[in-house]
Homo-oligomer: A and B are copies of this chain.
Amino acid sequence: MNEPRTTQGAAIIQALRQQLTSQALTGGSKLPAERELADLFDTTRITVKEALHHLEAEGLIYREERRGWFVSRPRLVYNPASRSHFHALVAAQQRVAATRVLSCESVLAPAELVSEMALAPLSRLTRICRLRSIDRRPVLYTEHYLIPEYFPDIGEQDLGQSLTGLYQRRYGLRYGRSRFDICPTAARGEAARSLSLAEGSPVLAITRINYDQQGRIIDCDREIWRHDAVRIRIDSQARAAAS
């Protein structure tokens, strides 16, 4: 097997992994403090911390800033190409969803969106920021950028519900095609704070540009998922022959 020599760190990882997969530690529960683990394994906090980071990268545990380490729950299976509503999707997987609206305001279009959305320079967009939780744990930070002309009075609507549904009911807009990018990156700024993640923690960023049925761009949304909270699943049909 060409097994690398077992380091102390690897031993800690293995011991914890076993506890985690054998359900001795179950979803949502808190791990002992780093200092306690260091005593337990007769080593230092730095070594323990390294081991915990490995398990975090695997998605078995997660951190909440200055609160401690917790056991991850199963990932939400999510298809960004389907238009299913977050609350319905979560409920279908026997979990409890919640949405909190963080802000809704008019902002100058960020530079990268000006070209992506084919806007005039210095355009204004309506930005809606929301934080979504599963089983009381915040897992998804979203920013929607709307073309304001299509969405008068959006600020007076209930934004805790599905925006897709609202677009259709209130504004008569239905999605046509959309394009999305999925990119593993690191949490920064507001997204990190809202998700109670340390700056630089790995996340999955999904950026989507939505067109209506006439092919006009109507909005763009950016989802920042905790990397251990989600698994993307997509069914695809056969295409034209490979090139």
Chain B residue nearest in CB terms to A200 = B54
Inter-chain contact B184/A202, CB cutoff 8 Å: yes
Contact with B along A209-243 (1 / 0, CB 8 A): 00001000000000000011001111111110111
Copies in the complex: 2
Quick check: is A119 within 8 A (CB to CB) of the other chain? no
Kindly state whether residue A110 has any CB partner on chain B within 8 Å. Answer: no
Residues of B within 8 Å of A242, CB to CB, are 83-85, 162, 164-165, 168
Closest CB-CB distance, A116 to chain B, in whole Å? 12
A contacts, CB < 8 Å to B? 4, 10, 13, 46, 53-54, 57-59, 75, 80-85, 88, 162, 164-165, 168, 174-186, 188, 199-202, 204, 213, 227-228, 231-239, 241-243
When C-beta atoms are compared, the residue in chain B nearest to A228 turns out to be: B184
Which residue from B4, B75, B182, B243 sits with its C-beta under 8 Å from A232? B182
CA distance A81 to B236 in the complex (A): 6
